[in-house]
């Protein structure tokens, strides 16, 4: 097991299975089809992301460097949270980007009962270490345990 | 973050619970970027990215309704991105069914919400709100709360306004409280270039291809582009502005560029020159071979890569009046050369409603129609964002459309050749 310490963007505690992308996560491309057409597993629809395409995102610990793509990304993430179709948590190796930050914060402020901890600045070593299927535990102070 | 007494009072709920939540959102957003303060939004108008009444986006409309019910409005009127539907644009029975009965069932409802929230006018739907005809043109130094990526990069770079690459919803919330967090592209430091891009091509580089190459290289950084003035001049005239509109949209969608400087042309580059470049800035040289490499590497995700195109979109971002006129002349000349009277592939040119209105008043409108080209205010991206279009071979000269959909990219001259029947 390894432990990493990051910065809390939105608070919460959760344990979930990791899904990992080492390239930018395109929020619109990843969620749009799944949300639009009622995919219960919320499989990633981004054809340009070979690491994630077709993998379920709901309830997973999404490990990523940053989000990319359309500036509708934040509101897409907010919608996913409102509909209960969000990842269990989002864990960024670097500094969070403006679109992901917006989505996570809007969900945190405006959606009752949402629990999607978002932690950034976990470091490059975090993304190099974590692999699909590992168990992730996020603690309230931004500590992330990977085993 | 240090707040003024007025800002703190709003956050504490003295002006109501809903406005306090709007302020909390903006403050938390700023804190995520270590912003030390909020600064006033100073532009006359705002611009929103969310223009579409997608059924799946119901939580967005619920949130807008919360604002309306609480009487929480912005003092700014706003324009908004293009409408997703237009009956003039070719669509088959199944597509129309999916668009109207399944996907965009909330369109009328949402447009009514937008009107109540402060839409500038019923035809204020475009991604190019900064066109003269649309009239949402920020002044140099204005602080904005915009989100549409192609408009943000244009406002920052060509107009010298100041705006971060915000997300949808943040755009209206910043406008409602009248403040945005001071970080990134709002600061002098954040506007300095960390890349020097040297243009060494033997001909004028295609705007959307050059923007794509730079976007993919520098991602969210600020590039200072040297040598482009040789091809597009040192005056921000209609032609240069149209070029930069297309160039910028490609940098923003193929990467995440929010600001670029063009030596001897864009306002801050003219004022400060190489003083904008940070110490240790990285270098990227672009020559003919590099542009060719970039174009060749675009994946073709059509089921049958050799399929005959069924539709062509030009105008993402929306075309300018001069671009519509120039395309009309090019198409006429090329049709004559190829022995055709009308375009051989259904072709849609998209532009802002008021640009189209101005175009209709010119003699070019009838000529373009005679050539078989359809004009529309639609957002091609919204049109194509559904599973049916994945199977449809659509071509475009928009690198933004290529990035977000299954549309295949060709340069403007290649598109001209294909739609006029010059390429067999």
A128-145 exposure pattern, b = at least 16 Cβ within 10 A, e = fewer: eebeeebebbbbeebbbe
Q: How far apart are CA B4 and CA A140, in angstroms?
A: 30
- The reply to whether B93 and B110 lie within a common domain is yes
The verdict on residue B102 lying in a domain is: yes
Where in the sequence is the domain holding B261, given as residue range(s)?
Answer: 191-296
Chain-centre distance of CA B204, in angstroms?
22
Q: Which of B240, B263, B296 is the last residue of a domain?
A: B296
Q: How far apart are CA B378 and CA B87, in angstroms?
A: 9
Residues paired with B262 in a beta bridge: B225
- List Cα–Cα distances, B382 to A95, B61, B187, B313, B363, in angstroms: 30, 18, 33, 12, 30
For residue B405, is pLDDT > 90?
Answer: no
The verdict on residue B252 lying in a domain is: yes
For residue A70, is pLDDT > 90?
Answer: no
The verdict on residue B306 lying in a domain is: no
- The reply to whether B34 and B175 lie within a common domain is yes
Q: What is the arithmetic mean of pLDDT over B19-33?
A: 98
Q: Which of A33-37, B130-134, B333-337 has the lowest mean pLDDT?
A: A33-37
- The reply to whether B204 and B72 lie within a common domain is no
Give the residue from A111, A84, A89 showing the smallest Cα distance to A100: A89
Q: What is the arithmetic mean of pLDDT over B57-68?
A: 96
Nearest to B170 among A35, A69, A74 (CB): A74
Q: Which chain A residues are closer than 8 Å to B152 by Cβ?
A: 71
Look at chain B and report how many structural domains it folds into. Answer: 3
The verdict on residue B107 lying in a domain is: yes
pTM: 0.95
For residue B424, is pLDDT > 70?
Answer: no
Give the CATH number of the domain where residue A15 resides: 3.50.30.10
For residues B359 and B375, the answer to whether their CB atoms sit within 8 Å is yes
The burial class, CB within 10 Å (0-12 / 13-18 / 19+), for B343 is buried
Model pLDDT for residues B112-145, shown as the tens digit of each residue: 999 999 999 999 999 999 999 999 999 999 999 9
Q: How far apart are CA B370 and CA B120, in angstroms?
A: 33
In the prediction, which pLDDT does B101 show? 86
Q: What is the arithmetic mean of pLDDT over B381-398?
A: 88
- The reply to whether B412 and B263 lie within a common domain is no
Kindly identify which residue of chain B lies nearest to residue A47, measuring between CA atoms: B301
Model pLDDT for residues A82-136, shown as the tens digit of each residue: 999 999 999 999 999 999 999 999 999 999 999 999 999 999 999 999 999 999 9
Banded model confidence at residue B78, pLDDT cuts 50, 70, 90: very high
- The reply to whether B217 and B315 lie within a common domain is no
Q: What is the arithmetic mean of pLDDT over B48-72?
A: 95
Q: How far apart are CA B135 and CA B128, in angstroms?
A: 10
Q: How far apart are CA A126 and CA A137, in angstroms?
A: 13
In the prediction, which pLDDT does A84 show? 95
Secondary structure class of B339 (helix, strand, coil): coil
Kindly identify which residue of chain A lies nearest to residue B168, measuring between CA atoms: A72
Q: For residue A123, is it left (φ>0), alpha (ψ between -120 and 50) or beta?
A: left
CA of A137 to nearest chain B CA: how many angstroms apart?
Answer: 22
Model pLDDT for residues A48-66, shown as the tens digit of each residue: 799 999 999 999 999 999 9
The burial class, CB within 10 Å (0-12 / 13-18 / 19+), for B303 is exposed
User: Which residues numbered 100-119 in A keep a CB inside 8 Å of some CB on B?
Assistant: 101-103, 105-106, 108-111
Kindly identify which residue of chain B lies nearest to residue A10, measuring between CA atoms: B28
Q: Which of B266, B296, B326 is the last residue of a domain?
A: B296
In the prediction, which pLDDT does B102 show? 85
Q: What is the arithmetic mean of pLDDT over B264-278?
A: 98
In the prediction, which pLDDT does B423 show? 79
Q: What is the arithmetic mean of pLDDT over B338-353?
A: 98
The verdict on residue B85 lying in a domain is: yes
The verdict on residue B394 lying in a domain is: yes
Q: What is the arithmetic mean of pLDDT over B141-157?
A: 98
Kindly give the residue spans of alpha helices, DSSP state H, lying in A2-133. Answer: 27-36, 73-82, 98-110, 124-129
Model pLDDT for residues B286-334, shown as the tens digit of each residue: 999 999 999 999 988 888 999 999 999 999 999 999 999 999 999 999 9
In the prediction, which pLDDT does B388 show? 82
Q: Which chain A residues are closer than 8 Å to B167 by Cβ?
A: 71-75, 98-99, 102-103, 106
- The reply to whether B363 and B408 lie within a common domain is yes
Give the CATH number of the domain where residue B411 resides: 3.30.499.10
Where in the sequence is the domain holding A119, given as residue range(s)?
Answer: 2-146
The verdict on residue B130 lying in a domain is: yes
Q: How far apart are CA A53 and CA A56, in angstroms?
A: 9
**Cis (ω within 30 of 0) for the bond into B317?**
yes
Look at chain A and report how many structural domains it folds into. Answer: 1
The verdict on residue B302 lying in a domain is: no
Partner-chain contact B404 A29, CB within 8 Å: yes
In the prediction, which pLDDT does B125 show? 98
Q: What is the arithmetic mean of pLDDT over B240-261?
A: 96
Partner-chain contact B32 A105, CB within 8 Å: yes
Q: How far apart are CA A1 and CA A57, in angstroms?
A: 23
Q: Which of B50-54, B63-67, B236-240, B297-301 has the lowest mean pLDDT?
A: B297-301
Output the average pLDDT for chain B: 96
A88-104 exposure pattern, b = at least 16 Cβ within 10 A, e = fewer: bbbbbbeebbbbbbbbb
- The reply to whether B205 and B290 lie within a common domain is yes
Q: How far apart are CA A22 and CA A2, in angstroms?
A: 19
Q: Which of B186, B213, B233 is the last residue of a domain?
A: B186
Banded model confidence at residue B234, pLDDT cuts 50, 70, 90: very high
């Amino acid at each position: 097991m390894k432990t990493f310490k990051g910065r809390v963007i939105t608070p919460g505690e959760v344990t979930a299975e990791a899904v990992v992308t080492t390239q930018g996560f395109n929020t619109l491309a990843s969620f749009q089809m799944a949300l639009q057409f009622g995919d219960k597993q919320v499989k990633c629809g981004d054809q340009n992301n070979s690491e994630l395409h077709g993998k379920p995102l709901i309830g997973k610990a999404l490990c990523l460097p940053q989000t990319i793509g359309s500036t509708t990304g934040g509101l897409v993430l907010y919608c996913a949270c409102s509909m209960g179709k969000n990842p269990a948590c989002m864990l960024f190796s670097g500094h969070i980007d403006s679109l992901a930050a917006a989505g996570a914060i809007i969900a945190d402020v405006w959606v009752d009962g949402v629990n999607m901890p978002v932690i950034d600045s976990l470091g490059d070593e975090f993304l190099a270490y974590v692999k699909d299927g590992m168990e992730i535990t996020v603690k309230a102070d931004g500590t992330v345990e990977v085993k | 973050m240090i707040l003024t007494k007025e800002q703190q009072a709003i956050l504490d709920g003295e002006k109501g619970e809903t406005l306090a939540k709007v302020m909390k959102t903006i403050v938390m957003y700023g804190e995520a970027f270590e912003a030390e303060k909020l600064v006033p939004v100073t532009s006359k108008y705002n611009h929103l990215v969310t223009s579409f009444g997608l059924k799946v986006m119901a939580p967005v409309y619920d949130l807008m309704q919360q604002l309306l019910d609480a009487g929480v409005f912005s003092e700014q009127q706003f324009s908004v991105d293009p409408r997703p539907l237009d009956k003039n644009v070719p669509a088959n029975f199944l597509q129309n069914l999916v668009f109207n009965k399944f996907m965009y069932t909330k369109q009328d409802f949402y447009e009514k919400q937008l009107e109540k929230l402060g839409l500038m006018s019923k035809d204020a739907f475009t991604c190019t709100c900064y066109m003269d005809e649309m009239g949402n043109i920020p002044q140099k130094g204005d602080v904005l709360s915009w989100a549409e990526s192609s408009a943000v990069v244009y406002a920052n770079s060509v107009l010298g306004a100041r705006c971060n690459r915000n997300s949808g919803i943040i755009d209206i919330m910043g406008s409602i409280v009248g403040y945005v967090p001071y970080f990134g592209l709002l600061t002098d430091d954040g506007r300095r270039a960390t890349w020097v891009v040297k243009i060494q091509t033997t001909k004028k580089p295609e705007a959307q291809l050059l923007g794509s190459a730079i976007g993919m290289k520098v991602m969210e950084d600020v590039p200072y582009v040297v040598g482009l003035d040789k091809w597009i001049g040192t005056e921000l005239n209609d032609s240069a502005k149209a070029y930069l509109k297309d160039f910028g949209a490609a940098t923003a969608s193929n990467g995440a560029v929010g600001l670029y400087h063009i030596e001897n042309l864009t306002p801050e580059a003219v004022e400060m020159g190489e003083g904008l470049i940070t110490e240790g800035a990285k270098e990227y040289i672009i020559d003919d071979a590099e542009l060719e490499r970039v174009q060749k590497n675009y994946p073709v995700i059509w089921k049958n890569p050799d399929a005959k195109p069924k539709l062509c979109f030009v105008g993402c971002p929306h075309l300018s009046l001069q671009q519509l006129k120039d395309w009309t002349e090019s198409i006429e000349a090329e049709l004559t050369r190829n022995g055709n009277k009308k375009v051989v592939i259904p072709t849609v040119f998209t532009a802002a409603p008021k640009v189209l209105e101005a175009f209709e008043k010119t003699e070019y409108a009838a000529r373009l129609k005679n050539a078989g080209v359809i004009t529309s205010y639609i957002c091609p991206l919204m049109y194509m964002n559904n599973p049916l279009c994945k199977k449809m071979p659509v071509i475009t000269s928009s690198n933004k459309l290529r990035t977000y959909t299954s549309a295949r990219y060709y340069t403007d001259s290649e598109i001209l050749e294909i739609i006029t029947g010059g390429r067999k």
